Structure 1
């Protein structure tokens, strides 16, 4: 493949990736580079908080009362299909002699599925984080906080079902953090991971703790809110006021990944 120097942008090339465009049936080069421009941090604007999830990839609220939920169902479906196909191939491989022609054939198919699903997941995460960054720009956000959920997956003392453990193992929150961080900072929005302990369980009105059993948090005192928006509100009010307080949501947006 011949590359014209004029097509290469000015800057320090950090990564070169060769990809195959299945739609147009051709090879393409993907360049990651630094153009030397330093983003200026916003001095004025609102503060927003987000809560990552397994069903909804991320939910966020701004102090002006706007909220957004970006569903993660497509990411879940990619994980489920990948796991199903990999399990079928591993079952077939277990019946073959390792290194045989059939075993190699199934192994190639396995590597292809893993590679394809990884590309699909990467695409979904990029689309998800871009939609959130666009929302932050609409709300003139200058600082974005997100709940740190790393301890949830690593808590080995807590007994969980096999299904829950599988869901947590498929939860790619680490990449979500990384993509959000560099995309927000490129727009001048500061990024911070904060403690999210009890934000899902605590009622901001009466202070009672309750584990929600559905997609809505409903308290005996009369307070109710979507559980992910409720958690994001608690993260935000704890940062702003040092305690959980109820927030009035005036504008809500729900997005799906196509």
Structure 2
């Protein structure tokens, strides 16, 4: 039962925990709750924290490189040579629809238009958040514990993308890459895995077979990579994921080697 103080006195009400049973196993700490009313219903928002043991890098038995982008929101390449693509085409179309609708409402400038803009912005944010949750959850469930996920450090993505053509800037710059990373980090930690973010420089221009790096290796318009030296050809996002996987393998080797010297 929940005991809530109201203007008409304290009341006690029951609540539903369906789908959230894991948070009531005694290992979580509850924060200060906030009562919210939406669409004629009441929701109790409760922040929860849990102490997570830092995964031991020496126990890593799988490395997964994850390339983030727009054509494919995420492309994962693992230690078995398997590639998983999370298609972003429907996302591009939906975001283009949001952008066009936003421009029309901004041009109107009426009170109702501004109200609809705020509502649409909240709806789009929830949709993006839901997508990032689903993809990161799918990745963590796919590979399980003792996995090292290697992603690109896209912290400077917004400033770096200022040179992007104005018509494409909204799609290229505004996707919530940092949110994706934070979701993946905490989900991985809860499953006994780790995430490292590395420099994205040349990840889509370097041949994973011969190591040759050249800008001309990649055809951005066709999303094709073809090495000018050994002619190895593949999807450019897959190439990025492969190179991130290689970086992860090198990282694990370096850390385990240092640990053996320390021991």
Pairwise same-fold verdict (TM > 0.5): yes
Residues 48, 141 of structure 1: 8 Å contact kept: no
Residue of structure 2 aligned with 1:170, choices 171, 174, 185: 174
The answer as to whether partners of 1:217 and 1:224 remain within 8 angstroms in 2 is yes
1:33 aligns with 2:33: no
In the TM superposition, 1:96-107 aligns within 5 A as 103-107=110-114
Judging changes above 3 Å, is the alpha-carbon distance between structure 1 residues 54 and 19 closer, same or farther for their aligned structure 2 residues?
Answer: farther
Alignment of 1:1-258 (within 5 A): 3-4=13-14, 9=24, 10=26, 11-14=28-31, 16=34, 18=36, 20=38, 26-34=41-49, 36=50, 38-39=52-53, 41=55, 43-93=59-109, 103-137=110-144, 141-155=146-160, 159-206=163-210, 207-209=212-214, 210-213=217-220, 214-220=222-228, 221-241=230-250
Is the Cα contact below 8 Å between 2:202 and 2:213 reproduced in 1?
no
Q: Per-residue CA shift, 1:33-77, capped at 9, x if unaligned?
A: 23x453562624212221111121111111222221112334333
Q: Per the alignment, do residues 163 and 45 of structure 1 end up closer, same or farther by CA in structure 2, a change over 3 Å counting?
A: same
CA distance in 2, matches of 1:38, 1:240: 24
Shift >4 Å, 4+ stretches: 5-8
Q: Give the length in aligned residue pairs.
A: 226
Counterpart-to-counterpart distance in 2, 1:79 and 1:198: 28
Name the SS for the 1:60 alignment partner.
strand
Shift in alpha-carbon separation, 1:33–1:16, aligned structure 2, 3 A = farther
Select between 173-182 and 161-170 the one with higher mean Cα deviation: 161-170
Cα distance in 1 for partners of 2:64, 2:82 equals 9
Report the TM-score, using the length of structure 2 for normalisation: 0.74
Deviations 1:97-150 (A, max 9, x none): xxxxxx32222111111111111111111111111111222xx55211111123
Superposed CA RMSD in Å reads 2.9
> 1:5: Cα distance to partner?
7.5
Cα displacement string for residues 193-213 of structure 1 (whole angstroms, at most 9, x for unaligned residues) = 011210101223341412323
More helix by share: 2
Kindly indicate whether the alpha-carbon contact (under 8 Å) linking 1:75 and 1:121 is maintained by their aligned counterparts in 2: no
Task: Quote the Cα distance in structure 2 between the aligned partners of 1:67 and 1:152.
Answer: 24
Q: Distance in 2 between matches of 1:19 and 1:5?
A: 14
2:180 and 2:171 mapped to 1: Cα distance? 16
Q: Cα gap change, 1:74/1:184 in structure 2, threshold over 3 Å: closer, same or farther?
A: farther
Gaps of at least 5 residues in structure 1 are 94-102, 243-258
TM-score between the two structures when normalised by the length of structure 1: 0.75
Higher relative contact order (CA 8 A, sep 6+): 1
